[in-house]
Amino acid sequence: MSEIVNLHRHRKRLARDTAEQTAAARRLEFGRTKVQRQTEAAEERKKQTSLDGHRRVREDES
């Protein structure tokens, strides 16, 4: 004799499992720590500052 299964609960469990697998894959792909985000932002600011410091200003543009 087979086990009685509530199809609604079964579908919800499958949806949760699928969502968890998708979330885990996205965490690996896109996840960065707060320190990593701050470091990248600081590097980007430093790069922009350096680039702006080397910019030439023409006489007629000022």
pLDDT in tens, 5-58: 999 999 999 999 999 999 999 998 888 888 998 999 999 999 999 998 888 877
Domain span holding position 28: 7-54
Does any domain span residue 28?
yes
Token duo for residue 12: 């919800």
- When divided into structural domains, the chain yields a total of 1
Assess if residue 15 is contained within a domain. Answer: yes
pTM flag (> 0.75): no
Comparing 60 with 6, the larger pLDDT belongs to 6
Residues 36 and 15: their CA atoms lie apart, in Å, by 32
Does 16 map to a domain? yes
Residue 53: the pLDDT is: 86
DSSP assignment string, 13-37 = HHHHHHHHHHHHHHHHHH---HHHH
Q: Is residue 49 part of a domain?
A: yes
Provide the 10 A C-beta neighbour count for residue 25: 10
Q: Does some domain include residue 45?
A: yes
In a domain, 13, yes or no: yes
